[in-house]
Every structure is written in C-alpha cells, then in structure tokens.
Amino acid sequence: MLGPTELLIVLGIVMLLFGSTRLPKLARSLGEAQRELRTATGEFEPPAKSKPVIVSTDQMTPTDQTTEASSPSA
C-alpha cells in the first residue's frame, strides 16, 4: 500500500504529465467508465442455483428401473 508521501509524488507526476486542463476530463471519463461498468454488471444476474434431483433406484420397482434404463436421454 502506498503511503501519503508516495501518493503526493504520484499525484505530482500525473499533474506534470497531463496538465491541469486535461486532468478533469480524464477523471470525468474514468468516472463514466466506472458507472457504466457498475450498471452493466448489475444487469447480469447469476443463474439460479437449484439442487439436482437424485432418484434412488432402491425405491423403484423393477418395471420402473427397466423403463428408466431404456428411455433415451435428452
């Protein structure tokens, strides 16, 4: 993590490189990009997590087991 002295040095270098006229435009564009990213990630919801249904063959009758084994999988 940067300390306060390092942050001031970095801020001074940024001011020298970009100047005082381009710095507000740069900050504005970064803010807009951050806002757009937040809205874009908020639109996508994770898929619903559902537990798979597990059917035990111990509870099935012999006719159910043959039907289950012979039916084509989807």
Measuring CA to CA, which residue among 69, 48, 72, 74 is closest to residue 57?
A: 69
Q: Phi first, then psi: what are they for 64, rounded to 5°?
A: -65, -35
C-alpha 54/C-alpha 70 separation (Å) is 18
Q: Residue 17: what pLDDT?
A: 86
pLDDT at 6: 93
pLDDT score, position 46: 62
List, for residues 7-61, the tens digit of each pLDDT value.
Answer: 899 988 988 888 878 888 888 999 999 999 888 887 666 666 666 667 666 666 6
**Interval 56-66: pLDDT, tens:** 666 666 665 55
C-alpha 4/C-alpha 12 separation (Å) is 12
pTM for the whole thing? 0.40
